[in-house]
Amino acid sequence: MRSDPLAGGERPISRAAEGRRIGERELIGMMALLMACNAFGIDAILPALDDLAGSLGAQGNDRQFVVGIYLLAGGIGTLIPGAFADRYGRRPVLFTALGFYIAFSLACALVTSFTQLIVLRALQGFFAAGIIALPPAIIRDRVGGDKMARMMSLIFVIFLLVPAVAPSIGQGVLLVMGDWRWIFVSMAVLGVAMTLWVHFRLPETLHEEDKQPIRVGVIARNMRSAVTLRSTIGYTLASALVFGGLFGFINSSQQLIGEAFGAGDMFPLLFAICAGCMALANWSNSRIVERHGARRVSHTALFLFIIVAALQLWFANQPDESLWTFVPLMAANMSLLGFIGANFGSIAMQPFRHIAGAASSAQSFMRMTTGALLGAAVGYAYDGTARPLALALLVTATVSLAFVLYSERGRLFGPPEPDNETD
């Protein structure tokens, strides 16, 4: 990977941003950790859900709303920042989102009831949605085609290391500080660090000629085109469904591993193994995607995902399913998601260079809200076994294949796609 400033066939930075030059490695790391703020906001609190529920009086599966409402509100909130970022630039919208992330993290640390916490988590997810929606737009400002898929894969490598270690960090904070509230303080600290990094190093990537007016008609037209074009809508819906199954695992993972399999003390380690496998797969994808193409790689991974999900459902229906069959299969499917997520997202963004902010917002909205609702339903269906999760993974992957077939007009495994930046 190059460490020099982005160059070659990629779009140059705007004239107003000439004072800041950022290399490819730094840009990838920055975008990854911006998105990781969202992941840290979800996963760091997982080991503390029991303590949090006891402290605030949450009953049964209700504790999952701490995660589910954040995901759902974040998905709804992604509709907002893209249009403003297409008009005023990426940097101002990112600073606004980070400011809300920091403020609501600190507010969550001060709650006195479970209802207050749920309301604040919803507000945090909604107003901080820019940290989810804008990184793909910033990358699309610079590159496209399978090159974007490669960069997004590398972003996901770093991004997924955070879920791998976040539960351990959360558990460590809980052990050292003795109170789950300090986990939310640690979220605010991460937000402050990212704000400073973006301020000093990120140039404005929106080009003057790509600016879009803030008019309801224009915004609606741009977003509608981003989610109705046949060649991309299937990929947006497919990624929403497969990640809905993943969100279902995140929502119920602490109960599954701690209660169903009686390995609560091992939860941070086992969660890290699964997330680490996904990160490794994204790194592998970044090495092969420009050679073989995002379509060939992701279509193959989706077929394998369906096979592994079928095995998961079979084992889940056995009376003696153990942790040592559940974890390897879950890790395998999370690995396969590493060959699906970045590639599906890049294919879906390819036609929308000039409206990258609105397109990223609209597509993120569909992915996040669908995934969050599905994940909440799967998590809330937890019945003391892995059956609801396994069934959801198989069904969502099969329907995802149907959506991909729709976008591709029945033809799969297409060739590598050139970077059309100069079009």
Alpha carbon 316 to its chain's center: 27
Q: Is residue 309 part of a domain?
A: yes
Q: Is residue 6 part of a domain?
A: no
- Give yes or no for a contact between 24 and 3, defined as CB atoms under 8 angstroms apart: yes
pLDDT tens digits, 120-133 = 999 999 998 889 88
Domain span at 53: 23-205+231-407
pLDDT tens digits, 248-265 = 887 788 788 887 888 877
Q: What CATH number has the domain bearing residue 164?
A: 1.20.1250.20
CA distances (Å), 368 to each of 65, 77, 131, 133, 261, in order? 15, 9, 13, 10, 29
pLDDT level of residue 108 (50, 70, 90 thresholds): very high
Average pLDDT estimate for 212-238: 83
Percent residues over pLDDT 70 in the chain: 93
Q: Is residue 257 part of a domain?
A: yes
Q: Is residue 163 part of a domain?
A: yes
- Those residues with Cβ within 8 angstroms of residue 374's Cβ, 6 or more apart along the chain or in another chain: 240, 241, 244, 245, 247, 248, 392, 396
In the beta sheet, which residues pair with residue 23? 5
pLDDT of residue 417: 63
Percent residues over pLDDT 90 in the chain: 30
Average pLDDT estimate for 55-77: 83
Q: Please tell me the distance from the alpha carbon of residue 115 to that of residue 264, in angstroms, as a whole number.
A: 26
Which backbone phi and psi does 385 adopt, to 5 degrees? Answer: -135, 175
User: Residue 287: is it exposed, middle or buried by C-beta count within 10 angstroms (0-12/13-18/19+)?
Assistant: exposed
Q: Is residue 218 part of a domain?
A: no
Least confident of 115-129, 183-197, 214-228: 214-228
Q: Which two tokens stand for residue 145?
A: 């085609």
Q: Is residue 423 part of a domain?
A: no
Average pLDDT estimate for 270-277: 84
Choice between 257 and 193, residue whose per-residue pLDDT is larger: 193
Ramachandran class of 89: left when φ > 0, alpha when ψ lies in -120 to 50, beta otherwise: left
- Give yes or no for a contact between 355 and 140, defined as CB atoms under 8 angstroms apart: no
Q: Within 10 A of 319 (CB to CB), how many other CB atoms are there? A: 5
Q: Which two tokens stand for residue 359?
A: 């397109």
pLDDT of residue 215: 75
Average pLDDT estimate for 373-382: 84
pLDDT tens digits, 303-353 = 999 999 999 999 999 988 888 899 999 999 989 988 998 889 888 888 887
| DSSP string over 239-261 | HHHHHHHHHHHHHHHHHIIIIIS
pLDDT tens digits, 163-178 = 678 888 888 898 888 8
| Number of compact structural domains in the chain | 1
Q: Is residue 368 part of a domain?
A: yes
Q: Is residue 5 part of a domain?
A: no
- Give yes or no for a contact between 46 and 254, defined as CB atoms under 8 angstroms apart: yes
Average pLDDT estimate for 401-407: 95
> Among candidates 318, 187, 211, 254, which has minimal Cα distance to 53?
254
